[in-house]
Structures are given as C-alpha cells and as structure tokens.
Structure 1
Amino acid sequence: MKATIWHNPACGTSRKTLAILQETPGVDLTVVEYLKTPYEADKLRQLFEAANISARDALRLRGTDAQERGVADWSEDAIIAAMAANPAYVERPFVETDKGVRLCRPMDKVHEIL
C-alpha cells in the first residue's frame, strides 16, 4: 500500500504517526516535509475534501499568528491561500493512502486508512 505523510519532524504527533507507518508491513511510504516543500492550494483542497473536513478544521492556531490575524474568520479560499503561503498554518500530520485521507490527530486515526 502506498502512503504519503505530510510531516513536521518537530511535532511529536507527526513523529509518532510516521513511526506507525514505518512499522506497518507493506507500506510504501513517501515523507513530505511540508515546511520545506509547501503544499499547493489544489493539493490542500483535495486533502480536505478526501478527509471530509474544511480548511478551517485543518487550520493550526497554536504556534502561529493565524489567530491574531483572524484567519479562522476568512473564507475557505482565503484560508487555503494563507495555508499555501504559510504551511505552518496547516495542522499536522495529514496521511493519504489508497483507503483515504486523515488528519491524524490523534495519531491513532492513521489506522483507519491502513
């Protein structure tokens, strides 16, 4: 099974989710460090749709200036544009497999798509 994780090595939840993927037999894993290789807006839309969440649901407020800027009150397209411009605004980690996409908070959500 192919799997892609959008990973932040500084995040404990992301590291633990990555470990689950690495320890699962038969997983062909791609790791994207999204702070180094930012998301494209279209990819964000695709991930959110597949995970059945909104951009607002995936907006990371903690550790960013998104709350001070009022990003959560913006339109869906404006939030996605802000996330594409500042990938730290995206909650982590997202995982995509043949079985779907999940925002893996908590990390055990990854088991739903393995």
Structure 2
Amino acid sequence: MSAIIYHNPKCGTSRNVLAMLQEAGEDVTVIEYLKEPPTRERLVQLLAEMQITPRQLLRQKGTPYDELGLGEDKWSNDQLIDFMMEHPILINRPIVVTEKGAKLCRPSETVLELLDEGAIASFTKEDGEVVRPR
C-alpha cells in the first residue's frame, strides 16, 4: 500500500507518524507542506476526504493564528482556507492519505486507522510512549 504524508520534519508528531508508516512497510511519499504547500483545490479535497472543516484543520501553536484574529467566529470557511494558503504553517499536521482514506493524524496513533490490520505490532514514539493497535 502507498501513503502520502503532509509532513513537517520539525514536528515530533509528524516524525512519529512518518516512522510508523515506514515501519508498516508503506511506500511513503513525503510532502514537506511548508516548502510545497497544497494548492487550494488540493486542500479543499483533503478537507472533504477527512470530513473536517477548515477550522478543525487550523493550527494555533507556533502560528500567526492569534495575530490574525482567527479565534473569532467571523471568518467563513473560504476565508479560513485563504489564510491557510497565505500562511501554510496554519495547516495542522500531519495529514496522511492512503487507499483507506485521509486523516489528520493527531495524536500520531490515529495513523493506525489508515493501515492494514497487523501492519504494526507496536511502536515506540520519540518520547518513549509505546503505541499498540487495538
């Protein structure tokens, strides 16, 4: 099975998810989305595949979220997408796409829902926490 990960190598969660995909034997395409942001069309498609709203994909920590006033309810979905296009750091990560679907993989063990059963027996995260499929 192949997978796409929208990845930030500076993010521990993203690194853990990438390592789990690799351990599961996935053929992984890594897109460093801060260097290669998705197009607006692709972002809209990802939101639809994940069945979440633009607000649910917004990242607050380490972003201009507060400075832009994005906590206010006055912004439409289209406007929130505009902000993500202008400031890709606002796109939460990692986003993973496999033939089983697409998910924002926070927490990192969410990626297990996109893998074949038994693909990973257990995985030790960078912080030492052990993840086991249910």
- Which ranges in structure 1 are unaligned for 5 or more consecutive residues? none
Runs of 4+ residues deviating >3 angstroms: none
The structural deviation recorded for 1:85 is 1.5
Unpaired runs of 5+ residues, structure 2, are 116-134
Displacement of 1:71 in angstroms is 2.3
C-alpha deviations, 1:36-78, integer Å up to 9, x for none? 0012111111111111110000001111111221224311011
Partner residue in 1 for 2:42: 43
Q: Deviations 1:9-34 (Å, cap 9, x if unpaired)? A: 00000000000001112x11100000
Report 1:26-105 matches (<5 A).
Answer: 27-72=26-71, 73=73, 74-105=75-106
Distance 2:34 2:55 in 1: 19
Structure-1-length-normalised TM-score:
0.94
Alignment-mate amino acid for residue 83 of structure 1: M
Please tell me the root mean square deviation across aligned C-alpha atoms, in Å: 1.0
12-21 vs 59-68, which deviates more? 59-68
State the Cα distance separating 1:93 from its structure 2 match: 0.3
Provide the secondary structure at the position in 1 that maps to 2:111: helix
Q: Where is the helix percentage greater, Structure 1 or Structure 2?
A: 1
Larger CA deviation: 6-15 vs 35-44: 35-44
Relative contact order: is structure 1 or structure 2 higher (C-alpha 8 Å, sep ≥ 6)?
A: 1
SS at match of 2:55: coil
- The one-letter code matched in structure 1 to 2:57 is A
The alignment status of 1:2 with 2:5, answered yes or no, reads no
TM-score between the two structures when normalised by the length of structure 2:
0.81
